[in-house]
Amino acid sequence: MKLNRKTAGDGAPLVLLHGGMGSINHWHHNFEALAEHYTVHALDMPGYGESPTVPKETPADAYVGLVVDALNDVVPSGSFRLAGFSFGSCIAALCAARMGKRVHKYSGMGAGGFHRHAPRLAMKKIPSPSAGDAVMREVLAHNLRVMMIADPAKVTAAAVDLHHANVKRTRYDGRHVSLTEGLMPGCLREMTCPAQLIWGDNDVMCVPGLEPRIAQVRATRPDVRIDIVAGAGHWVQYEAADAVNRLLLDFLRD
Say what the pTM is: 0.97
Model pLDDT, residue 137: 97
Model pLDDT, residue 91: 98
Domain boundaries along the sequence of the chain: 5-120+172-252
Model pLDDT, residue 75: 98
Does residue 49 contact residue 169 with C-beta atoms inside 8 Å? yes
Model pLDDT, residue 113: 96
Pick the CATH number of 5-120+172-252 from 2.60.40.10, 3.40.50.1820, 3.40.50.720, 3.40.50.300: 3.40.50.1820
Model confidence pLDDT, tens digit, residues 88-111: 999 999 999 999 999 999 999 999
List, for the chain, all residue ranges whose pLDDT scores fall below the cut of 70.
none
